[in-house]
Amino acid sequence: MPEAGTLTLPAPAKLNRMLHITGRRDDGYHALQTLFQFLDHGDTLTLAPRADGEIRLDATLPGVTSDDNLILRAARRLQAITGTHHGAHITLDKRLPMGGGLGGGSSDAATTLLGLNRLWKLDLPLASLASLGLELGADVPVFVRGHAAWGEGIGERLTPVALDTPWFVVVHPGVGISTASVFGAPELTRDTPPITMARALQGGVASWRNDCEPTVRALYPEVASALDWLGTRAPSMLTGTGACIFARLEREEDADALLAEISERWQAFKAPGRNRSPLHDALDRRAP
């Protein structure tokens, strides 16, 4: 049975407001330049301590084995590197679509690391947790750091930035996308000239694009159709390698109107952008 005391924490979505592919590295990964921003919407994790050292997870993720589950991997790795004898019972309320380009699995892993660091009173600094997160996936460190960021390398070299924080409507076109198929496609743009962070920010929203979008459009007609439709209503873009796309809107009432128009066509939600992660806000509210 779990011990008394629990933490319930958000695992927010992210958007890639911009994504350039500047080359392919010797290790096979692609070199990226991107702008990460959080949404005030995502999964929720509830973490309760266990005295027996066991890590238990209540969640059903189709096609994800225990060995591949980032929540379990994060918890067990944190146990291993700290030598703690504490355990945890973790419950996941999954709201973000899997494989949608919103970073759901990476965000769940980061919330697990930060939540258990607090629950188990380990007091590891963010830098250590971010390094641990990188072992789990390239997107985990930005969720651990908790601030909108300019990302380089494979997305792990992060510089905090302040982006505009409009409302977004995020649409899932109802198709699963294989990241490997996108990054392996011969037609994928891999030679965008690198730019500085300052130039990216000075160029502003109108200049931002996702180099994966033309390839995803070609491989997945459902995404192309959704992008075409959404783009007639508001400035729209693919996030990550998809499948989710997002529209940028100035006011909440505009987001509500667009959601009403989408209706039953696709799965969709609205959320404001955030430069500071809702996870870090929640942890601050629960500070001892």
What positions carry a catalytic annotation? 14, 139
Residues 71, 154: Cα–Cα separation, whole Å: 21
Q: What does the alpha-carbon distance between residue 157 and residue 29 come to, in Å, rounded to a whole number?
A: 14
Helix residue spans in 24-103 (DSSP H):
70-82
Determine the Cα–Cα distance for residues 288 and 282; give it in Å rounded to an integer.
Answer: 12
Phi-psi region of 57 (alpha: psi -120 to 50; beta: other; left: phi over 0): beta
Q: Give the span between the Cα atoms of 227 and 243, in whole angstroms.
A: 10
Pairing of strands 87-93, 55-58: parallel
**Whole-angstrom Cα distance, residue 75 to residue 87?**
9
